[in-house]
């Protein structure tokens, strides 16, 4: 299983003062020295963390970018210009603190099927950030996505409360169903150094996308050690 590191949180810290520190490109260079599969970046419609220029700067490093994005024409144009390694379509509400809940693929199947075509035509792998729900998984298959990313937020919250079995089962069953349909399966959101070991019990997960816990740990032990420690837990 591979680790994708979400670097939005470094941009959030930088933007707090409106300057250039901490420098996102320098952080990316350090992270890329480790065995990570991608740098995950969410270009939000309000640009609250990652800015357009960040994408071009990180792309220039030759990094595999996993671009999290809303399914809007504006961001699609940017994706088609940048050609990230992969995109992950996420729901986006302006007022939310982070991505709350998975994308409702089922209610916009036809729109999304058309939306991803030009991305796939450019060789960009497409993923959909969904809850481990049968309808959403079937819809993801219908629109011919390459991957799904299972939203682990509910599991992570339940883990914190010490009662995660039901949420874990949902993830595990969801992964099995998706893999049976030929979809590749990633997971992410809220994963941390305590709960990530359980992801290894879900067979065949390709990649975990983790950000907040890694950047939080980096405050105490540095980004090199924080990334390395997470890689050890994920592998
Ligand atoms: N995957 C997706 C689709 C996300 O939206 C996020 C949050 O930006 C993550 C993974 C990473 O979540 P966290 O920062 O909680 O590790």
Give the pLDDT confidence of 151-203 residue by residue, as tens digits: 999 999 999 999 999 999 999 999 999 999 999 999 999 999 999 999 999 99
153-161 and 165-180 helices, crossing angle to 10° = 150
User: Does the beta carbon of 209 sit less than 6 angstroms from any atom of ligand 1?
Assistant: yes
3 state SS of 143: coil
98 lines ligand 1 (CB under 6 A): yes
pLDDT of residue 99: 66
- For ligand 1, the distance from its centroid to the CA atom of residue 189, given in whole angstroms, is 4
Q: Rounded distance, CA 119 to CA 126, Å?
A: 8
Q: Please give the C-alpha separations between residue 147 and each of 88, 157, 213, in angstroms, as whole numbers.
A: 9, 24, 24
In this predicted structure, the answer to whether residue 128 has a pLDDT above a threshold of 90 is yes
Strand 125-130 to 184-188 pairing: unpaired
* Overall average pLDDT of the 116-123 stretch: 98
Distance CA 92, CA 70 (A): 6
E strand intervals along 79-121: 86-89
Tell me, using a 6 A CB cutoff, whether residue 230 lines ligand 1: no
Whether the CB of 90 sits within 6 Å of ligand 1: yes
Question: Residue 8 Cα, ligand 1 centroid: separation in angstroms?
Answer: 9
Residue 61 C-alpha to ligand 1 middle, in angstroms?
Answer: 22
Q: Who's near 184: CB < 8 A, 6+ residues apart?
A: 146, 147, 148, 206
State which of 45, 68, 151 you would mutate to test the pocket of ligand 1, scoring each by most atoms of that ligand within 8 A of its C-beta. Answer: 68
**Cα separation of 20 and 199, whole Å?**
35
The C-alpha atoms of residue 47 and residue 92 are separated, in whole angstroms, by 12
CA-nearest residue, atom 6 of ligand 1? 189
- How far is ligand 1, taken at its centre, from the CA of residue 91, in Å? 12
- What Cα–Cα distance (Å) separates residue 28 from each residue in 10, 16, 25, 99? 10, 19, 5, 22
| pLDDT tens-place string over residues 36-50 | 999 999 999 999 999
What b/e string do you get for 150-182 counting C-beta neighbours within 10 Å, with b at 16 or more?
A: bbbbbbbebbeeeebeebbebbbebbbbbbeee
> Which residues are known catalytic residues?
42, 68, 189
- CB of 212 sitting under 6 A from ligand 1: yes
Residue 111 binned pLDDT confidence (cut-offs 50, 70, 90)? very high
* End-to-end CA gap in the chain: 6
Q: What is the set of domains in the chain, with CATH numbers? A: 2-234 (3.20.20.70)
The answer, yes or no, to whether residue 96 has pLDDT greater than 80, is no
Residue 47, C-beta contacts closer than 8 angstroms, at least 6 positions apart: none
């Amino acid at each position: 299983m591979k680790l994708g590191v979400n670097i939005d949180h470094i941009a959030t810290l930088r933007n707090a003062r409106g300057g250039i520190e901490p420098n996102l490109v320098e952080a990316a260079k350090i992270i890329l020295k480790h065995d990570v599969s991608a740098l995950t970046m969410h270009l939000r419609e309000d640009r609250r963390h990652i800015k357009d220029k960040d994408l071009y700067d990180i792309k220039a490093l030759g990094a595999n970018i996993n671009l999290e994005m809303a399914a809007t024409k504006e961001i699609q144009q940017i994706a088609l210009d940048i050609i990230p390694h992969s995109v992950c379509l996420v729901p986006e509400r302006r007022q939310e603190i982070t991505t709350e809940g998975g994308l409702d693929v089922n209610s916009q199947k036809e729109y999304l099927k058309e939306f991803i075509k030009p991305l796939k035509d450019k060789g960009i792998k497409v993923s959909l950030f969904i809850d481990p729900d049968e309808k959403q998984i079937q819809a993801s298959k219908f629109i011919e996505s390459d991957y799904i990313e299972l939203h682990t937020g509910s599991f992570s919250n339940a883990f914190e409360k010490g009662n995660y079995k039901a949420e874990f089962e949902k993830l595990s069953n969801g992964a099995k169903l998706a893999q049976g349909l030929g979809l590749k399966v990633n997971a992410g959101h809220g994963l941390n150094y305590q709960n990530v070991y359980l992801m290894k019990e879900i067979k065949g997960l390709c990649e975990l996308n983790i950000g907040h816990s890694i950047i939080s740990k980096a405050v105490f032990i540095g980004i090199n050690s924080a990334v390395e420690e997470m890689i050890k837990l994920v592998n």
